[in-house]
Chain A
Amino acid sequence: EPEVTQTPSHQVTQMGQEVILRCVPISNHLYFYWYRQILGQKVEFLVSFYNNEISEKSEIFDDQFSVERPDGSNFTLKIRSTKLEDSAMYFCASSERQGGNEQFFGPGTRLTVL
């Protein structure tokens, strides 16, 4: 069964460093998403991506964040200068098309900023 994969499963970084979180969406999906979940809090939407551009973003997704689809399979989230409050579980998701189709989530990358 196709699934969304994410690497690494856990990333530890120093405050101020850049990190890149990687995702491989399901191969025939067209929409890609990043969400995050700070420990003990709800899952929050960050950004959606379609046709090689951002289609929607939340207030959380400020200038320190960027997304890219560098090739036909990977989808990345870059945080340019990490802050302590960026520590969270980051989930990638993908979906076939808009409308009611569900989003399929990856297992997440736990980011710890020291």
Chain B
Amino acid sequence: AQSVTQLGSHVSVSEGALVLLRCNYSSSVPPYLFWYVQYPNQGLQLLLKYTSAATLVKGINGFEAEFKKSETSFHLTKPSAHMSDAAEYFCAVKGDTGRRALTFGSGTRLQVQP
């Protein structure tokens, strides 16, 4: 079975500060991992994905994530937060062989303070 845990349902940072959103996964096979962002009243937009190539993945809007197998983690970071980064962020895993379904974490709401 596959699962995702996102630590911290709410994260607040100051504009210009480092953003760190945590994601730990569980999968019985090497996983594919994704970060999606959801702006208010909008759908889910893919930020970045890990598909067993480079462990450090760069995405849109200056975000990146590092796959660490030993820690079963895929934390999302951005060096300098911008007001427009305020949104809900979801980590998702596609792991089990033959399954196409994504399993999502419970989400982290990022607030950016001026």
Contact = CB atoms under 8 A, between A and B. Distances in A.
B44 interface: yes
Contact of A42 (B42, B51, B100, B104): B104
Contact of A106 (B34, B43, B106): B43
Nearest to B107: A42
Contact of B42 (A4, A98, A99, A107): A107
Contacts of B14: none
B49 A91 contact: no
B58 to A, nearest CB: 15
B98 to A, nearest CB: 8
A102 interface: yes
B34 A102 contact: yes
Interface in A27-62: 31, 33, 35, 41-45, 48, 55-56, 58
A65 interface: no
B101 A58 contact: yes
A105 B101 contact: no
A103 B102 contact: yes
B51 A56 contact: no
B43 A107 contact: yes
Contacts of A33: 100-101
Q: Which 3 A-B pairs have the closest CB atoms?
A: A100-B51, A45-B101, A105-B44
Given A41-B106, A45-B103, A100-B51, 6 more contacts: A33-B100, A35-B104, A43-B92, A43-B102, A48-B100, A100-B94
Interface of A: 4, 31, 33, 35, 41-45, 48, 55-56, 58, 91, 93, 95, 98-100, 102-108
